[in-house]
Amino acid sequence: MAPKRPDSVEELRAAGNQSFRNGQFAEAATLYSRALRALQAQGSLDPEKESVLYSNRAACHLKDGNCTDCIKDCTSALALVPFSMKPLLRRASAYEALEKYSLAYVDYMTVLQINDSVTSALEGSSRMTRALMDSFGPEWRLKLPSIPLVPVSVQKRWECLPSENHKETAESKSKETTAAKSRGSSALSRVVSDFTLTVALCGIVPSAGDVERAKVLKEEGNELVKKGNHKQAIEKYSESLWFSNLESATYSNRALCHLVLKQYKEAVQDCTEALKLDGKNVKAFYRRAQAYKALKDYKSSFADINSLLQIEPRNGPAQKLRQEVNRSLK
C-alpha cells in the first residue's frame, strides 16, 4: 500500500524538512510551496508559521544556487516576522553570493544586534567590511543603506522564547559562549577590536544609523554598570564602539569596568583612546591615573593627575589621589 500523500500544512512541512535533510532541495521547495498554498487557503492568521515556510523554501533556493528567489522568500518571511534570524542570515548569504556586499553587510549586522555570538554573522560582517573597503576605499560606510535598529523587545523575545525560527542559533550561541570562555575571550571582542582598529586607521565615518545604535548600546552598558554587572557592560560598550568609535565617553566608561575587574592595562588603553578623542576628558585622566597607580607606574599616574587638575583645579578625588601617588614617589 502506497504511503499516504501529505496534505495538511504540518504534514507538508514535515515532508519538506525530511526532503531537505536528504539533500532533495527541489522536492523540499515544492513541498514548502504546497504547505504555503494550503496555509493561505485556510485564511490562517499565523504569520510565524507562514514566515517559517518562506524561510525554509529560501534555504532550498540557496542550496540550489537560486539566490534571487532566496532573497524574495527571505524578504517575505521578514515582512511577516521582522528580525527573524534565519531569513536574515540566508538573505545575507544570497546577497553575498550576488556580490551585493552592502546589503549583505546590513543583514549580518542586524543579526548581530539580536545575537552577538552568531559566528556566521561575525565572519560575514568581517568579510563584507574587507570587500567594501576594497571596492570603495575609506569612505565605504557612506555607501551603506541604513542599518535597522533592532528593538530591545525583539532581542529579549529571541533570547527567552526559542522556536523553530532560531533554535539552532540558540544552541550555537550556547556552544560558542562556552568555547569562548575557555579561550579567555569572545569572538565578538576579537572582531570588535579588529574592526575598530580598521575604522581608526582608515578614518571611516559612521552612518547616522550606526551612531544612534552606538548610543543605545552605550546606555545599555551604563545601566549594567549601575547594577554592578561590569563584565556584561564591557560587552555592550564594545558593541557600541563597533558601530561608532567616535565617542570618548564610551572608552572611558569601559575603562571604569576594566578598573573594577582589575584589568589595569586594558583600562590604560581605553583611557588613552578616550583622550585622543577628547583631550579634556577628566574621567579618562582620573581612571588612567588610577590604573597607572595600580601598575606602580607612579610617574605616569602623577602626570595624569596634574593634567586633570589643570582642567579642574578643585577636583577633590584627584587631589587626594595626587597625595597618595606623591607618597609612593618619595
In tens, the pLDDT along 76-104 reads 999 999 999 999 999 999 999 999 999 99
State residue 63's pLDDT score.
94
CA 52 → CA 9, 48, 82, 183, 246, distances in Å? 12, 6, 12, 35, 39
Helix axes 152-160, 101-114, angle to 10 degrees: 70
Task: Determine the pLDDT at residue 45.
Answer: 73
**14-23, 182-191, 213-222: lowest mean pLDDT where?**
182-191
* CA–CA distance, 239 with 242 (Å, rounded to integer): 5
Neighbours of 244 (CB within 10 A): 24
Contact call for residues 60 and 20 (beta carbons, < 8 A): yes
Kindly give the residue spans of alpha helices, DSSP state H, lying in the chain.
9-21, 25-41, 47-63, 67-80, 85-97, 101-114, 119-136, 152-160, 167-183, 187-202, 208-226, 230-243, 248-260, 264-277, 282-294, 298-311, 316-329
In order of their start, the domains of the chain are 1-97 (1.25.40.10), 99-147 (no CATH), 208-329 (1.25.40.10)
* pLDDT recorded at residue 142: 78
Dump pLDDT digits (tens) for 246-297.
Answer: 899 999 999 999 999 999 999 999 999 999 999 999 999 999 999 999 999 9
Higher pLDDT residue, 245 or 175?
245
Average pLDDT, the chain: 83
pLDDT over threshold 50, residue 187? no
Burial 279-297 (b: 16+ CB within 10 A, else e): eebbbbbbbbbbbbbeeeb
Say if residues 321 and 286 touch (Cβ distance below 8 Å): yes
Note the pLDDT of residue 157: 62
Grid look-up 553575498 returns 96
Check if the beta carbon of residue 320 is closer than 8 Å to that of residue 309. no
